[in-house]
Amino acid sequence: MARSAVLPKTNELGFFEMRFESVGGLGANLAGQILTQAMVLGQGFNGAHFSSYGSEKKGSPVKSFVRLCASDKEVRSSAPVGRPDLLAIFHYCLLRVEGTTYGLYPDSTVVVGTPDPIDKVREKLKLASGTLVVVNALDIAVQEKSRLNTAMLGAIVRAAGFIDSEPVKQVIADSFGAKYPQLVEANLKTFDRGYKEAEIKHYDYDGRFELSPFSRYVPALGYENAPIGGVIPNPGNTARKDLSASRQGIFPLYYRDRCIDCGLCTQTCPDFVFVWEKGKDAAGLPAMVLKGPNYQYCKGCLKCVDICPVDALVMECERPEFNFTANPQLWGPVEALVALSRENDPAKWEQSDGSYWRRVS
């Protein structure tokens, strides 16, 4: 559907601004490029896109910024978007990361990639008012054998209301067609499903959550408030650091009853997440036995899944109801928990504290 080159709202500088919160590997940077190119070349806006990230690898934090204005105005700002008219959160694990939602206006639109019901997402966001959009982008991408960024783009286009989907789809086709023509059809289908399957709900201010006055977000530890001498009291490589939020939304699910303790997973794992203990092999002789991956440190690269010869490790999509701890056992799907027994008898588990499961034998 063709749209006019008129922005629905602008800030005091005349811009409509978007911020994409993501992690490396989910394609937020490319999504911002595609969207901005489509808006400038396809709808006649002026615009700029840039991203902010540290090391260019999967799992590292990524923020992608899109700034749009009328064709007779110039974009002369490269400042990060602190007050987004549209905020897109590419993975629900980021909802628990401090600073993800800072700067929202009372009428901002928030798009979240999650399988959760929309009202539950509002609870997690503590969204006082505005428009909320949810889409199960990860499931769509897995089913279509593509990346979730095009599913998120579909939801973003629908949520914005003024963006013409056809130029966006044309840029998607051009972006993938040059190097990966075999991926064009899958990504266009992913975009269409993201657009159609997005659920949208507007929330008027009802007092359930307080409207917070805007203030510039300052991380707990940064260049402005680092201790004298440059000491970092909470480095990322400490034993207590939970790195599970860096995963792309997929992880290796371990089935103990299929495992032959060959050790190939340990050899290929770049982060040494697999835990072993002294035990007995199938013949009853002393041997090292694999307990499973410690998901606290797993980044979801799935190299172990590719190398496992007996399908003891398989790809699984993370869901909000799956909970992980530093223990190398998985608290989650019952069928996998039962398989964690070393003996022929299935292990016995009981549920406690919501979604957590405790092994009782």
Q: Which CATH number fits domain 16-203: 3.40.920.10, 3.20.10.10, 3.40.718.10, 3.20.20.70?
A: 3.40.920.10
Say yes or no to pLDDT of 180 above 80.
yes
Res. 292 pLDDT band, cuts 50 70 90: confident
CA distance 193 to 137: 9
Report which of residues 270 and 322 the model is more confident about: 270
What local confidence, expressed as pLDDT, does residue 301 receive?
85
Where b means 16+ CB within 10 Å and e means fewer, 183-202 reads bbebbbbbbbbbbebbebee
pLDDT confidence of 288, banded at 50, 70, 90? very high
356, containing H or E segment: strand 356-359
Q: Decide: 26 and 299 in contact? Cβ < 8 Å.
A: no
CATH code at 244-359: 3.30.70.20
Going by C-beta distance under 8 Å and a sequence separation of 6 or more, which residues neighbour residue 220? 98
One DSSP character per residue, 191-247 reads: HHHHHHH-EEEEE---SSSPPPPP-----SSSTTTPPTT---SS-TTSTT---GGGS
pLDDT at residue 211 in the model: 87
CA distance 248 to 244: 9
Backbone angles phi, psi at 117, to 5 degrees: -60, 150
The string of pLDDT tens digits covering residues 294-336 is 877 787 888 999 999 999 998 887 766 555 443 444 434 444 4
DSSP, res 346: P
* Strand ranges, E, within the chain: 16-23, 46-53, 61-69, 86-89, 109-113, 130-135, 199-203, 250-254, 274-280, 286-293, 313-317, 349-352, 356-359
Determine the average pLDDT of the residues in 258-278.
91
**Given this model, what pLDDT does residue 357 score?**
45
Is residue 155 pLDDT above 70, yes or no?
yes
Question: Is residue 338's pLDDT more than 90?
Answer: no
Structure confidence at residue 201 as a pLDDT band (50, 70, 90): very high
pLDDT at 226: 66
Position with higher pLDDT, 184 vs 60: 184
What pLDDT is stored for residue 297 in this prediction?
A: 77
Q: What is the DSSP letter of 84?
A: -
Does the pLDDT of residue 246 top 70, yes or no?
Answer: no
The segment(s) of the chain belonging to CATH 3.40.920.10 are: 16-203
pLDDT of residue 94: 85
pLDDT at residue 271, rounded to an integer:
83
3-7, 90-94, 189-193: the lowest-pLDDT one: 3-7
Cα distances (angstroms) measured from residue 308 to each of 196, 269, 270, 300? 37, 11, 15, 15
Evaluate whether 264 touches 308 at the Cβ level (below 8 Å). Answer: yes
Identify which of 69-78, 89-98, 191-200 has the greatest average pLDDT. Answer: 191-200
> What confidence tens digit (pLDDT) does each residue in 114-153 have?
989 999 999 999 999 999 999 999 889 988 988 899 999 9
Averaged confidence pLDDT in the chain: 82
| Residue 198 and residue 136 in contact, taking contact as beta carbons nearer than 8 Å | no
CA distance 231 to 293: 32
In a 13 Å sphere around the CA of 328, the CA atoms on its Cβ side amount to: 16
Band of residue 231 on the pLDDT scale cut at 50, 70, 90 = low
Which pTM was predicted? 0.74
341 pLDDT higher than 60: no
Q: How many helices and strands in the chain, by DSSP H and E?
A: 10, 13
b/e per residue 313-352 (b: at least 16 CB within 10 A): beebbbbeebebeeebbbbbeeebbebbbeeeeebebeee
Where is average pLDDT lowest: 194-203, 217-226, 269-278? 217-226
The answer on pLDDT for 233 being more than 50 is yes
Stretch among 216-220, 243-247, 271-275 having the lowest mean pLDDT? 243-247
pLDDT at 356 over 90: no
Q: What is the pLDDT of residues 11-60, one digit of tens each?
A: 999 999 999 999 887 889 999 999 999 999 999 999 999 998 866 666 67
